[in-house]
Amino acid sequence: MTAKLYEATQLDELLSLGGAELKNHFIADLQRCQTQLTESMTDAKRDQRQSLEQSRRILHELRGISLTIGAAPLVKLCAEAEAFCDMGSLQDTMVRQPEILNLCSALIDEISAHPTGLS
């Protein structure tokens, strides 16, 4: 049995307010955060301090999006990585990046397949 990526009833309630437009907004935000996180980690070779700050900001935003839709596994992972950014530990942050990106991709797939009406 795999862990739930998000709370379907929580997403249903949100989508009842904003429908397909809100669903597309969540997907676009997740994709944007994925891209920005990848870029910030790539930039780490040039400027570690700036990369940590950018990563912390992106992870914070991604954690907020995840909280909104009840994506507890991604919330936890983003919180851990964000804390490592705050401690200045780029290596610990980078170690979590692949799992964060994989969870984002899986979440995007599941939200895309999630019905816009109530399930």
- d(CA 102, CA 82) in angstroms, rounded, equals 17
Q: Residue 118 domain-assigned? A: no
Q: Residue 11 domain-assigned? A: no
**Residue 88: pLDDT over 90:** yes
Q: Residue 3 domain-assigned? A: no
Q: What is the domain-level CATH number for residue 99? A: 1.20.120.160
Residue 7 near residue 107 (C-beta atoms within 8 A):
no
DSSP state of 45: G
User: What are 28-55's pLDDT values in tens digits?
Assistant: 999 999 999 999 988 887 899 999 999 9
**Residue 119: pLDDT over 90:** no
Q: Which residues span the domain enclosing 85?
A: 19-113
Q: Residue 102 domain-assigned? A: yes
Q: Residue 12 domain-assigned? A: no
Residue with tokens 């862990």: 3
Q: Residue 92 domain-assigned? A: yes
Q: Residue 6 domain-assigned? A: no
User: What are 8-25's pLDDT values in tens digits?
Assistant: 999 999 989 988 999 999
